[in-house]
Structure 1
Amino acid sequence: MKSARWFLLTALALAGAPAWSQGSGPTDPQIAAIVVAANQADIDAGKLAESKTQSKDVKAFAQQMVTDHTGVNKAAVDLVHKLGVKPETNPTSDSLKQGGDANIANLKPLQGVKFDRAYIDHEVTYHQNVIDALDKTLIPSAQNAELKALLVKVRPAFVAHLEHAKMVQASLPQTQ
């Protein structure tokens, strides 16, 4: 069963709705916290999927999510350290963490095809929301050129993840 609350939280959080007023975007320290929280949510879900799925396609996708998102987080943390920027938690990063926790709670009791379907359906929605947030909020709001460059650099990976998730999604049997 998909968590409508999680999808709503993710969409609102990644769009920046709870964090800043209309017309202003997140600051660089807030963007850093959002990037880390968004990636960590996907790392945690990927680790759960690696341990639960019996599907080789889902397992391969989950492994790729853990590897790629861990790499993005490392690059983001390395950059903020280099720049002397301290990630600043904010309602968006907090909402992403809560949404990630809710997603894990939703996925844990599921088994087999129901788990695979819920995990992959979430990944499709999540990656589309991340791409939208990158394009509409995070990249335009980033003030530091190196931070903006990192966001631009990782965007194609999120597009590739979305396409990969859609491929896996199309191959899964429908659940009742």
Structure 2
Amino acid sequence: MKKLISALAVTLTMTGVHASAQEVADMSDLEYAHIAYTADNIDIRYAHLALALSTNPDIHTFANTMIRDHSAVNEAALGLLDKLGASAQDNAFSQTLNGNAEKIIDGFVQLRGAEFDAAYAANELAYHQAVNDLVENTMIPNIDNAEVKALFEQGLGVFKAHEAHAELMVKALQ
């Protein structure tokens, strides 16, 4: 079951992010803002689920870090949008991310203990790898507004640290 859920999570995450990279390259800064906000909220949801379902202190530490850091980036993004007098624009890619997240969550809620921990860690690694790649190689090079670009670059640094932490968690749980 653990391998099935981990494979499902990785597949859904990777499919949702990489399948539409070219479409994303053609989007506006406001659509990028929505994608980033959506991706952050998804990871916050995963983290709350981890706090509810796991008893592993390392998982709890990581989940609390995800909640803190992704919430802080979202607050900064909302502040910047407010300053610019703009609103993030929903799009098909954000909707795909949310749809994939629902499927992953449906799989997670069936797991407990070490099975959940391994699936959560594997998903966090795959999710951060995929989203970081999209942000670094597709979004940032195509962002027009300098302040938006700076915020994305700052967030990417934080989220690369999450990726490294998730990789250590995956190895520790094997």
By the TM > 0.5 criterion, same fold?
Answer: yes
Map of 1:33 onto structure 2: 34
Are residue 106 (structure 1) and residue 107 (structure 2) matched? yes
Q: How far 1:9 sits from its partner (Å)?
A: 4.2
Q: Is the 8 A contact 1:36 1:73 kept in 2?
A: yes
Residue number among 7, 19, 36 corresponding to 2:10 in the alignment = 7
Map of 2:63 onto structure 1: 62
Q: AA paired with 1:128?
A: Q
Deviation per residue, 1:68-121 (Å, 9 max, x gap): 111111111111111122111111110111112111111011000000000000
Are residue 92 (structure 1) and residue 86 (structure 2) matched? no
Q: How far 1:35 sits from its partner (Å)?
A: 0.6
Q: Is the 8 A contact 1:18 1:91 kept in 2?
A: no
Cα distance in 1, alignment partners of residues 33 and 112 from structure 2? 34
Map of 2:23 onto structure 1: 20
Cα distance in 2, alignment partners of residues 67 and 17 from structure 1? 28
Q: Is the 8 A contact 1:9 1:95 kept in 2?
A: no
User: How many aligned positions are there?
Assistant: 171
Q: Is the 8 A contact 2:128 2:160 kept in 1?
A: yes
Unaligned runs of 5+ in 1: none
Deviation per residue, 1:124-166 (Å, 9 max, x gap): 0000011100111110111111000000111111111011111
Cα distance in 2, alignment partners of residues 3 and 88 from structure 1? 31
In the superposition, the TM-score normalised over structure 1's length comes to 0.89
Cα distance in 2, alignment partners of residues 106 and 157 from structure 1? 27
Instruction: Note closer, same or farther for the CA distance 1:161–1:148 as it changes in structure 2 (3 Å cut).
Output: same
Q: AA paired with 1:2?
A: I
Superposition RMSD on alpha carbons, in Å?
1.8
Which structure has greater helix proportion?
2
In the superposition, the TM-score normalised over structure 2's length comes to 0.90
